[in-house]
Chain A
Amino acid sequence: MNKHRIIKVILAFLCFVVLVVGVVWAFMLFFGGRVLKGITIVIEQYVAQSSVLIVGLCIAVTILLLKLLASRKINHPKQYYAIIIIGLTISGLNAASLLATPYTIINTNQEFDTAFDLDWENSIPSNIYKYFLPSPYFFSSHFLSIPEREIIVEKDVLFYTGENITLYFDVYRSKMDASQLPGNGSIIINLHPGAWMSGGKGTWNMISTSKYLAGQGYVVFDIEYGLIDWFEYAAEAPDTPEYVMGNFTIEDQIRHIGIFTNRCASEFAATYGGNLDCVYFMGRSAGAHLGGVAGLGYNNDFHNTTFSPNITVKGVIPLYPPSAAPEFLLKENKTTNPDLYNAYDLVHLADPQDPPVLIFQGTSDGQVWIERVIALEANLESKGVKCCLVKFPFAGHANDFVLSSNIGQVWSYYLERFLYLTQHIS
């Protein structure tokens, strides 16, 4: 074989490898990690938000294959045309998430219409709209990202030492006067994912979203809480700091968040220009559960000494939330102490005085199943809580990592509107 032919064979082989990856990606889009479990639960997190680029990649390698096998068009036309069909089919399947974007937009608009009345869009002043995304999705922004506004980031600010751990937070805020921006200095307490036993602030708590919200005039506190060292989970989050690990339960984690709210009310809000009359709890996965407990439970008798009484919670933003704590991660189980269990169950904590809730959920999530989140929304609404579920077809767990993806853009579009609308609900 001459040199050219060897290169051609290697290239053709690599093209087939990419198409096989395209098949795996398409499978993960449709079924998530729910079917195969194991490593697919981790892979699922990267699939939907990269699928548009995988479409481009599959089309490109199909074209390359056609160029490489051009001579076969005459001698083996069936093989040649089969490659076209296979390549385009794989690309088409990977486009499912992108093609479902209009469905997400229509569906979320209906959710907002129900929660905030049909006129909600007109209730936002035109001078505020100039700071918002003008459209739920721009294909151009998908590649070039959403332009950032000038912000200030302060990292590793200590807020708690004790129980053999130290807890820090990162704070994101605008360089501009927040009172001139939609956020008006409202505080967002951002809780990281990681199955209550792993993860940390920063990278895995979606820095891009924190930066984007800071640019809108929100003061975003990305905080740590003590993590459970005696529990193991297959899909644990990376970058877990050793200094937060301890012999904890979920009750301790809520207590750590409570400590932060108290220090925030007494000190940090003033330092960073945060508005205590407008506080949001936002969290991802396990952080969404903890944020839900804090946001829906801060007015509950069980938790009434945990959180600062000087904050007013205006909204809860759980992304891919488990609706209740796993029993074994509490000090007592459901049978021996049902009141304790209920105090960490979002539905039991809900009451008509609770603030509105905006939920992010992908339908292909293998860790937090869509059926359970739909039930959570229905149960919260039956308890009198305003609730909007932003449902992303084909998205898996943690699919808000890329802010400029079709998922990230649609989420940001409705998130900024939700935050503004709820600020002005008394």
Chain B
Amino acid sequence: MKISKKMIKYLCIISFGANIALILMGIFHYFIGLNIVFGTSFSILIVLSWFLNIILIVYNDYKIVKSSLMGKKIHHLGYGFVGVNIIDIILLVAGLFLLNANWFSPILQYSLIIFGFFSFFIYGSIFSYLNLKSLDKREVWQFE
């Protein structure tokens, strides 16, 4: 499939917006409680944003010029993003299981969950922003 600059641009914008929206919705989750409209849109946005982030990482591998300084930086950030994703999942599993245990304080249990959830989308928004910012640099991207 031919990937144009325009496609990556839209992908970065949507991904950035979705990540920021999810950070805000994550905060609201604890304040407004469970609501059918909010819960459904939040759930859909999590899946959408996660896939957009993954697609952006994959596209990076195809289109980034790794020999350029900025390209190398974004490529490494892509590795970091996958790493953060893996660590976050482990933190979420630990936090959700420990929520049932009386061995630790609730502060630690919720810290694991909150850090596991928010760090992924914070990293995602930074990653998509840096991609977007570098799009006009011809030495970073390789478009036909």
Contacts and interface: CB of A to CB of B under 8 A. Distances in A.
Nearest to B83: A64
Contacts of A63: 54, 57-58, 82
Contacts of B114: 144
B54 A59 contact: yes
Interface of B: 25-26, 29-30, 33-36, 39-40, 42-44, 46-47, 50, 54, 57-58, 61, 78-79, 82-83, 85-86, 89-90, 92-93, 96-97, 99-103, 110, 113-114, 116-117
A123 interface: no
A256 B87 CA distance: 46
B97 A147 contact: no
Contacts of B61: 66-67, 70
A43 interface: no
Given A60-B82, A133-B34, A143 B113 contact: yes
B40 A57 contact: no
26 contacts: A46-B97, A53-B89, A53-B93, A57-B89, A60-B86, A60-B89, A67-B61, A133-B34, A135-B34, A138-B43, A139-B44, A140-B25, A140-B29, A140-B42, A140-B43, A141-B29, A145-B110, A147-B29, A147-B30, A147-B34, A203-B103, A207-B101, A207-B102, A402-B96, A402-B100, A405-B96
Contacts of B33: 147
B92 A53 contact: yes
A61 interface: yes
Contacts, number: 106
B115 to A, nearest CB: 12
Contacts of A140: 25, 29, 39, 42-43, 46
Given A57-B89, A135-B39, A140-B29, 5 more contacts: A135-B40, A144-B117, A145-B99, A402-B96, A403-B99
Task: Say whether chain A's binding surface is mostly helix, strand, loop, or mixed.
Answer: helix
Contacts of A97: none
Nearest to A61: B86
Contacts of A77: none
Contacts of B25: 140
A146 interface: yes
A404 interface: yes
A46 B98 CA distance: 12
Interface in A339-353: none
Contact of A144 (B30, B85, B93): B30
B78 to A, nearest CB: 7
A202 interface: yes
Contacts of B101: 203, 207
Contact of A67 (B82, B97, B100): B82
A56 interface: yes
A304 B61 CA distance: 73
A141 B34 CA distance: 8
Contacts of B43: 138-140
Given A53-B89, A63-B82, A146-B34, A401 B100 contact: yes
A208 B113 CA distance: 15
A64 B86 contact: yes
| Residue among A133, A139, A206 with the highest chain B CB neighbour number at 10 A | A139
A424 to B, nearest CB: 24
Contacts of B82: 60, 63-64, 67
Contacts of A110: none
